[in-house]
Amino acid sequence: MKLFPTPLCVLFVFGAFLAGCGGPNTTTVGLKVELSRVAHGGNGRTEVSWRLVNPNIVPYLLARATHKIYLDGVLAGTVDDREALAVPAQSNQDRTSPLTSAGAGAEAALANAARNGSAAYRVESVVVVRLFGETTEKTDLRATGTVPVAGK
């Protein structure tokens, strides 16, 4: 009769372990990406100023950030920033990165936004946070808002 609780306990612990695997990412809760400015050059070069907002009481080190940027509902392009970015606790960090255009439709949307002076944006980001050593964690972030767009 004493052997019955042991297998049941092992099964319970194993089930609890599996329930914790693949769950939602809680390490980076609260992190937010915002666009602060888009500068569209006449030569086809566009730069995006973006900000990572950290409301948490721990600092983060981003190993990489990739952003898909939509302006007025049109995919304008992507930003792939592979330079490390340290974000202090309860602070934010700004970065300016080149935008890789999504094609002719994107160029037309950027030119139109530059004429209007601003655009509604949606940004879908994947950030890779370095936890320690070589250990990293990917986090998906999404944000919307309005961003000033300047033409050069």
pLDDT by 10-residue block (mean), the chain, 152 residues: 50 43 60 93 84 93 94 94 93 94 88 92 94 86 94 76
Q: pLDDT at position 135, please? A: 84
How far apart are alpha carbons 67 and 78 in whole angstroms?
A: 5
Residue 129: strand, helix, or coil: strand
- The strand ranges marked E within 27-117 are 32-40, 46-54, 60-71, 74-81, 85-87, 91-101
Q: pLDDT at position 104, please? A: 86
Per the DSSP assignment, residues forming a β-bridge with 87 are 60
Distances from the Cα of 91 to the Cαs of 12, 44, 52, 61, 124, in angstroms? Answer: 41, 33, 9, 13, 21
CATH number of 30-151: 2.160.20, 1.25.40, 2.60.40, 1.20.950? 2.60.40
Q: How many CB atoms lie under 10 A from the CB of residue 106?
A: 21
Q: pLDDT at position 29, please? A: 81
